[in-house]
Amino acid sequence: MGTVAGKLTIGGQPSKDQIRVTFINSSIGQGAGATVGADGSYKLETALPTVEYKIFVSKVLLDTAAVSTAKEILLTVEKAYRSEETTPLKFTVKEGANVFDVDIPAAGGK
């Protein structure tokens, strides 16, 4: 098992939106996530088995409106980074403490 922490930035800067980073491996049915801090730092909530994970980001909603709207989508990053199926981000968790710092390109290259 391994723990994961690090820093996640978008276009070199901490996100202006509150975001969540998720590590997932569907083939073994394991995953964990964390809300990213204002400075971009995060620490996964649980330790993970030592395998490769896909990493994607999503927007954290501050209200609980049941209506689906564009405000639920993290538009500051390219669409590929917002889905397990399309994310190019991968990280192999090793035994012990792991650090995974990543800078996701901003949408539209901004």
**pLDDT per residue over 2-59, tens digit each?**
999 999 999 999 998 889 999 999 999 999 999 999 999 999 999 999 999 999 998 8
**pTM, 2 dp:** 0.87
Q: For 47-88, what is each residue's pLDDT tens digit?
A: 999 999 999 998 887 655 444 445 567 778 888 999 999 999
The whole-number pLDDT of residue 110 equals 45
DSSP string, 58-90: EEPPSS--SS--GGGS-TTB-GGGG-TTT---E
Break the chain into its structural domains and give their ranges.
2-109
Task: State the CATH architecture for 2-109.
Answer: Sandwich (2.60)
Residue 100: partners with Cβ closer than 8 Å, 6 or more residues away: 4, 5, 6, 55, 91
- The C-alpha atoms of residue 55 and residue 110 are separated, in whole angstroms, by 21
